[in-house]
Amino acid sequence: MTKIDEYIFKVIHDENLAKEAEFYNKEEERTLDFEGTSISYLVIGDSKKTLLMLPGTTGNSVTFLRYISELSKDYKLILVNYPQVNSIEELKNGILKVIEKEITSEFYIFSHSLGGILSQFILKEIGEKVKGLIIAHSSTINNTISKKIRKENLASIQRFTNSIKGMFYKLFIRNFIKRIRKGVVASNVDNFEFWEEIYAKILSESSKKGLLSIYNCLEEFWKSYSFEKKDFVNFIGKAIIIESETDVIHDMPEKEALKTLFINSSYIEFKGSSNMSIIRNQDKFLDVIKENFK
């Protein structure tokens, strides 16, 4: 769990954000051992309705910071931090262990990016327990995805992992943080200085093996997996797919495939790009969650 340090609080100029950051910092993470490693997570709120929150490639629950105090009024929140693992199956198993320990009835899932891929693995295993699902800015692989598309995605991931392996790690992180800072500033997100520091802290706290673990899971997904509608016959809840209208990638085959994967699904486009969308579009995401997860 990434704690928010005093120097980060100093760049906050939004009173609500400061309160949300303080609320998050007070929470204590829990850990659960599985398959020779451990997974950490937060449990916040005591509602009978449970919402599992799966982050993207940061693998870090702090990216949901602006949602926690508001959603915990209506839901018991389970926020997972991704551990270092040897495979995407192992990561899935860790999340299932958290579900088994902390969730005793049906629940909802709010997932983003890599979290959206992991939510598909979970639905295939225990779809009957999931009442509703939001997948934001994610993708899937089914029989419509060509070998060419698989190879292109694999090549992109492998270029990134090779850059991690090929450089002195501290130098790689410095360069990566510079790139992330530029992306945060370009996104026009409110209080961008705060998010610059948060993402820089996530990266500076990461290990080479930990970062590679996340992208190796993505690589493995594109190499070896495929989902079809029949895999989710036990999921009778509603799936909501969210994308951003100005993204050139929002109509790529792997995005289009996601729209047809579930028996009962709807599609929403937010204005703008997916860059920092989980933060920029906080109010819109909250509306979608509250309107659909009742």
Q: Is the pLDDT of residue 49 over 70?
A: yes
pLDDT number for residue 30: 97
Mean pLDDT, rounded, for 83-94: 97
pLDDT number for residue 263: 87
Alpha carbons 246 and 224: distance in angstroms, whole number:
30
Q: Is the pLDDT of residue 45 over 80?
A: yes
pLDDT number for residue 248: 54
The answer to whether residues 283 and 256 touch, using CB atoms and an 8 Å cutoff, is no
* 89 falls within a domain: yes
SS3 category, 5? coil
Range of the domain at 14: 6-145+226-292
Q: What is the CATH number of the domain that holds 288?
A: 3.40.50.1820
In the chain the first and final C-alpha atoms are separated, in Å, by 29
Mean pLDDT, rounded, for 93-119: 97
pLDDT digits (tens, 9 = 90+) for 175-229: 999 999 998 888 888 999 999 999 999 999 999 999 999 999 999 999 999 999 9
Tokens coding 107: 């629940």
Structural domains in the chain (count)? 1
* 189 falls within a domain: no
Q: Is the pLDDT of residue 241 over 60?
A: yes
Alpha carbons 42 and 30: distance in angstroms, whole number:
6
pLDDT number for residue 246: 73
Instruction: Give me the percent of the chain exceeding a pLDDT of 70.
Output: 98
* 158 falls within a domain: no
- What contacts 115, CB < 8 A, 6 or more positions away? 53, 54, 55, 56, 138
The answer to whether residues 73 and 44 touch, using CB atoms and an 8 Å cutoff, is no
Q: How far is CA 236 from CA 128, 256, 265, in A?
A: 7, 21, 10
Q: Is the pLDDT of residue 74 over 60?
A: yes
SS3 category, 238? strand
* 150 falls within a domain: no
Other C-beta atoms lying within 10 Å of the C-beta of residue 256 = 16
Alpha carbons 211 and 217: distance in angstroms, whole number:
10
pLDDT number for residue 252: 86
* 190 falls within a domain: no
Q: Is the pLDDT of residue 273 over 90?
A: no
pLDDT digits (tens, 9 = 90+) for 247-271: 655 568 998 999 999 989 999 999 8
pLDDT number for residue 166: 83
CB-side neighbour CA atoms (13 Å) of 103: 27
* 176 falls within a domain: no
* 162 falls within a domain: no
pLDDT number for residue 52: 99
Mean pLDDT, rounded, for 41-58: 97
The answer to whether residues 212 and 103 touch, using CB atoms and an 8 Å cutoff, is no
pLDDT number for residue 244: 86
* pTM across the whole model: 0.95
* 205 falls within a domain: no
Q: Is the pLDDT of residue 75 over 90?
A: yes
